[in-house]
Amino acid sequence: MRISHVEIIGGGPAGLYAATLLKRHFPAAQVRVTEQGPADATWGFGVVFSDHALAQMADDDPRTHGILAPAMERWRNMTLVHRGQRIVIDGVGFAAIGRLTLLRLLQEQAHAAGVELVYGKAIATIDGLDADLIVGADGLNSLVRRFDNTGFQPTLGELDNRFAWFGTPRRFETLTQTFVHTPHGSMNAHHYRYAPQMSTFLVEADAATFFAHGFDRMDEPETARACAEIFSEALDGAPLVSNRSIWRRFPKLWCQNWHSGHKVLIGDAAHTAHFSVGSGTRLAMEDAIALVRALAAHEELGKALAAYQAERQPAAKKIVDAATTSALWYEQFPRMMAMAPYDFAHAYITRSGRVDDARLRRMSPQFMQAYEAHREAA
């Protein structure tokens, strides 16, 4: 296929990575990424990858893996804290990288490949874009998708739980889930380090607890102080750091079609996956790999985009469905807070439906030995 000009809207990980891959495979093409924000702007703190996701990246794109992997923090186990008891779930490997570090590394890679990067420019319409291909990598509020809702056929909704994304200058040795019961209801924190002395700290509450605490009436600094007090034991006195740390409800997006004409969607512009499975960035980067692979394999753009959708939609749907099932578990976790810690931990690790006891015995033998001993003694 001959591609002379590609316009990519959105300069997050999805857009930057897609641009680099496109420039590698079509070196003569003009590939431009346009991002409305500045180059060093991001919200949130860390991005987490499973060992499986990193292994797949190493197979699909060892060059990018070799750039990102040295900047990552890694660990082998998970920790769950419930009713004051710490339970280790062994054999579950993850890595994390700071969002800004990830962006900078992908920017450097894109620039080295010859991609044109444009920052601080808001595009109001795609009507005037004269390109062979327009890639919507512009996230949940995608202009590319909204320009052609009829073609992409999106379905959009929201979960009920509220969450706020913080950072903290506190090192956590593993990805940890801390569940607490307060006088106003139950809350949860997802926390993991993404730098030697810096961690993500995401706080979640169901609607009743959110309003009972009065979080709807607090500004960002008040919210950070209140959450730091609630999770003071986990934080060991460390503060919570804000970065657009406003309360949100998780958006559920799925597009029936990922391409329409010469427009195509990747990442959160096409689908969202709940943060409890840590797969949003992974899915976006895998979308980019599949898109460029399809473009390289077909002579006609329409056939290439149809092949991309045929390959990626079923694979992404499995992850998105598992993430939705996981999210629904979090929507109901306050009802399970009375469970014994090991029973609660077992319910947590099997929540997505992808892990049964047989797999747990292979994957987490020490946890299963302790869990089954607890069950026998109960």
Q: Which pLDDT value is given to residue 30?
A: 97
Alpha-carbon torsion angle 332, 334, 337, 342, nearest 10 = 40
Burial class (CB in 10 A: 0-12, 13-18, 19+), 161: buried
Residues 63-77 pLDDT 10s: 999 999 999 999 999
What is the structure's pLDDT at 22? 97
User: In the prediction, which pLDDT does 42 show?
Assistant: 77
137-185 per-position pLDDT tens digit: 999 999 999 999 999 999 999 999 999 999 999 999 999 999 999 999 9
Q: Would you kindly state where each structural domain of the chain is located, as residue ranges?
A: 5-41+99-158+251-330
| Confidence (pLDDT) at 40 | 83
What does the mean pLDDT of the chain come to?
Answer: 95
Q: What stretches of the chain adopt beta strand conformation (E)?
A: 5-9, 30-35, 46-50, 73-75, 78-82, 85-89, 94-98, 116-119, 133-136, 154-168, 175-182, 185-195, 198-205, 241-242, 248-255, 259-260, 263-265
**What is the average pLDDT across 222-244?**
96
pLDDT of res. 19:
98
Do 198 and 45 touch, CB atoms closer than 8 A?
yes
Q: Give dist(CA 238, CA 39) in Å, integer.
A: 29
5-41+99-158+251-330 CATH, one of 3.40.50.1580, 3.40.50.740, 3.40.50.620, 3.50.50.60 = 3.50.50.60
